[in-house]
Amino acid sequence: MSCFKFLETLITKMESLLVAFFWHQDVGKKIHWLAWRKVCLGKKEGGLGVRSLKEFNIALLCKQAWTIGVDTDSPVQRLFKARYFSTCSFVDADCRGNISYAWRSILAMRPLLQAGIWWQVGDGKSISLAASPWLPMPSIFRLMVPPRTLGV
What pLDDT digit, counting tens, does each position of 29-78 carry? 666 677 777 888 888 888 888 888 888 999 999 889 888 888 888 898 88
Q: Is residue 135 part of a domain?
A: no
**Residue 151 Ramachandran class (φ > 0 left, ψ -120 to 50 alpha, else beta):** left
In the chain, which ranges are E strands? none
Write the CA distances from 112 to 35, 48, 107, 144, integer angstroms.
28, 26, 10, 30
Q: Is residue 141 one of the residues assigned to a domain?
A: no
Residue 79 belongs to domain spanning: 54-114
Ranked by mean pLDDT, which of 8-12, 18-22, 82-86 comes out on top? Answer: 8-12
State whether 38 and 61 are in the same domain: no
How many domains does one find in the chain? 2
Domain membership flag for residue 67: yes
Determine the pLDDT at residue 9: 92
Model confidence pTM above 0.75: no
Q: Is 123 within a domain?
A: no
Give the HSE-up count for residue 26: Cα atoms under 13 Å, Cβ half-sphere.
1
